[in-house]
Structures are given as structure tokens and as C-alpha cells.
């Protein structure tokens, strides 16, 4: 029983220590913190700019599907069917800004970095292939020179050698 427990704990430890799990955990934590930043930017800057034509709180924008839309003092709908499209707009803006920041600050630079690494790798392989081809040519020349030297040696081709 103790060996099974030790093996289970060792397996779990190995799972946690794998790079992918740690990277994923870091990404989740950073993503959560980043979400707060984006939401603050949307709420503090973008929403007031968009709301310059009306209310500063985008969540207040709505339409009434079934008139009249009335709410009580606590904000509960008393009559009508309100469609809160302002909150959808707010969430959409948050998503677009988050996606843009992630793309321009993380995905695009990483793609450029990986492309440069691939070019360096291909260039390095090209140099190695060129070196291999050059070495092959030199070895063939050496072989040909040795064959020519042997044939031109004492007694010539087919002659008696010492």
C-alpha cells in the first residue's frame, strides 16, 4: 500500500513539474490579473468616450421589446421586456481590447521571434549542407589525386611496383 501511495504521489509530482502545467498555471494567473486591467481601461476610458453621445455607463443603454419598460427603485423590471444591449456592447469592447492587446503584445512578437529562429536554423542547416558538399568535393579530389599518383608511380599502370 505504501509503495502504491509513493508511486501515486511521485506520478502526481511529475505531472505538476512538467513544463506545460506550470506554464498553464502562470498563464491563468496572469490572464486573471490582465482581465482586471482591461476591464478598468474599458470602464474608465473607453466607456466614457463611447458614452459621450449619451450616458457614460454603457450598461444603461437598453431598448424595450414590450412597452412600457418600467423599473422600481431597486432596479427590478416591473413591466415590459428590456433588452440590455449596452452591457453586450461593454462586454464586446472588453473582449476586442483584450484580444488586440494579447495579439499585438504577445502573439505577434512571438510569431516574429519564432520566424527568426526558423530562418537562423535554416541558414545554419544550409551552411552545414554546403560544408558537407564542399567536404565531399574535396574528398573526391583527394581520391582522384591519389589514384592518379598511384597510376603514375614506378612502373606506371600495370607495371611492377617495389
**Which positions of the chain have pLDDT values less than 70?**
1-5, 19, 54-56, 128-132, 153-162
Q: Does residue 138 form part of some domain?
A: no
What pLDDT sits at residue 112?
Answer: 92
DSSP state of 72: -
CA distances from 42 to 81, 87, 161, 162 (A): 27, 12, 94, 95
Domain at 12, CATH number: 1.10.1200.120
d(C-alpha 45, C-alpha 51), whole Å = 10
What pLDDT sits at residue 162?
Answer: 44
Overall number of domains in the chain:
1
Q: Does residue 152 form part of some domain?
A: no
Q: Does residue 85 form part of some domain?
A: yes
d(C-alpha 100, C-alpha 34), whole Å = 13
Amino acid at each position: 500500500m505504501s509503495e502504491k501511495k509513493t508511486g501515486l504521489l511521485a506520478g502526481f509530482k511529475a505531472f505538476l513539474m512538467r513544463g506545460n502545467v506550470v506554464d498553464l498555471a502562470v498563464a491563468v494567473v496572469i490572464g486573471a490579473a490582465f482581465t482586471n486591467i482591461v476591464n478598468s481601461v474599458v470602464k474608465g476610458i473607453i466607456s466614457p468616450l463611447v458614452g459621450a453621445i449619451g450616458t457614460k455607463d454603457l450598461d444603461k443603454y437598453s431598448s424595450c421589446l414590450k412597452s412600457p419598460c418600467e423599473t422600481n427603485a431597486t432596479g427590478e423590471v416591473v413591466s415590459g421586456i428590456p433588452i440590455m444591449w449596452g452591457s453586450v456592447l461593454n462586454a464586446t469592447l472588453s473582449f476586442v481590447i483584450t484580444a488586440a492587446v494579447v495579439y499585438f503584445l504577445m502573439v505577434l512578437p512571438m510569431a516574429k521571434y519564432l520566424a527568426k529562429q526558423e530562418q537562423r536554423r535554416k541558414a545554419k542547416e544550409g551552411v552545414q549542407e554546403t560544408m558537407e558538399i564542399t567536404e565531399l568535393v574535396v574528398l573526391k579530389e583527394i581520391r582522384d589525386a591519389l589514384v592518379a599518383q598511384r597510376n603514375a608511380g614506378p612502373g606506371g599502370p600495370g607495371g611492377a611496383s617495389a
